[in-house]
Chains A and B, each alone.
Chain A
Amino acid sequence: MTAPQEMSVGEDDRVRLAPGVMLRQDRVRNHWQLLGPERVLILDEVALEVVRATTGQPPVTVAEAIDALAAQFDAPRTEIAADVREVLADMIAKGFLTR
């Protein structure tokens, strides 16, 4: 599924957790999750790294987060960029992240 145009993220954008959203490690179920009002989103490894890289402190642009992930995983930047943008668009559409 492709995200609608208005949900897509540019490299100059900055994203942050939406109000009332928190990143949490669930020790009982053994995974990381984003929690929001009445909602739980279970994060796989890719999604977790994307959330950490884009919403950490100090705030960074999406481009800077992609650079950091490309270096961290020693992977081609274009590949990482595609993953990051897909994960972010999905989380924005679901209301877990905002720009």
Chain B
Amino acid sequence: MTAHCSTGTVLEPPLAILAELTHRCPLRCAYCSNPLQLDPASRELDTATWCRVLDQAADMGVIQVHFSGGEPTARKDLETLVAHATGAGLYVNLITSAVLLDRARLERLRNAGLQHVQIGFQDTVADKAELISGFPGGHPKKLEVARDVTDLGLALTVNAIVQRHNIDRVDDFIDLALGLRAGRIEIANVQYYGWALKNRGALMPTHEQLIRMDERVRARLPELKGRLVVDYVVPDYYGKRPKACMGGWGRKFLNINPSGAVLPCHAAETIPGLTFDRVTERPLADIWANSAAFQRYRGTDWMPARCRSCDQKEVDWGGCRCQAMALTGNADNADPVCDLSEHHGLLAGITSADGGTAEVPFTYRSFSL
């Protein structure tokens, strides 16, 4: 199938899809990027629908699937979905908090074809981690499951979710990953969407903290080469140029939420006025090529004049739409992280108001709000 995006180049199929199987989750992380309005269990896609969608994804050229959530292991049919995705030729990743897993289930998932397990760690110290996740006993459980993952021959990623309370322990996170024999660490500074945006004033680190962390990570990279792959999401609130969010809107990835809406990124629902097609109503390839939400910000035609005449426009694709929305109130603007944007001054206001080291009470993620 060939489709064209607004720049006139041929539209490639997505490389990977994020399948948010459920919004249910035993944790209540203050930094959760899930929307404030969570999908209830009754609206989740059933097994047969997910299997059909996985087949469609493989047929259109998707290479990897990430089963995510919420907590994907809360779905009893996860083994079936992993086996189905593997049978369709997809590489299967599991993004999990690990607290519902045990060795027997991991073994069943491995036998179904699972290749890679990414476990989120809220801190390297149990009580501090559990303060963020609101889940007592979570940290030792994660350590136990992580050991089982590598024991069973699966690839392990330690996802270190970094914010003001743990950012000074980035070295400990790296040591944790090495100790667990992880092949990869993702050092992910909290991105302020969903619940995290609500808690920005309790999470955002200072500029000095970020600079210290950056120096520590860079100092360790040479020794880690060939031992631990380091993927490092540099926080951009203090930056001068935006990141190409998701590799550009509708260019490399798509996201399917628990009730089957197909999103260009997991925070896209924060943009008012976008309508999302559902896998229950249209084939996935048709949604990728033609859905209004994907076409809206694909390519460069939508861009404000400054971006359109900028030589970075096909590098950063104007940055993150959801961040432009959250900070400037209009997703049609360039990402205000860009210092060429007339809204760039907003960042200084936010970082001086919310950046800090103080203990501010969290608003925990919950279904009831």
Contact = CB atoms under 8 A, between A and B. Distances in A.
Contacts of B89: 24
B95 to A, nearest CB: 10
Interface string A1-39: 000101100000000001111101010110001011111
Contact of B15 (A24, A37, A40): A40
Contacts of A39: 229
A79 to B, nearest CB: 25
B116 A37 contact: yes
Contacts of A20: 115-116, 154-155, 183
A35 B184 contact: no
B93 interface: yes
Nearest to A40: B63
A46 B330 CA distance: 49
B184 A37 contact: yes
Interface residues of B, number: 26
B282 interface: no
Contacts of B157: 37-38
A22 B154 CA distance: 12
A59 interface: no
A29 B12 CA distance: 9
A95 interface: yes
Nearest to B223: A6
Nearest to A91: B226
Nearest to A28: B61
12 contacts: A7-B225, A19-B150, A19-B183, A20-B154, A26-B61, A28-B13, A35-B91, A36-B116, A37-B93, A37-B115, A40-B15, A95-B184
Interface of A: 4, 6-7, 18-22, 24, 26, 28-29, 33, 35-40, 92-95
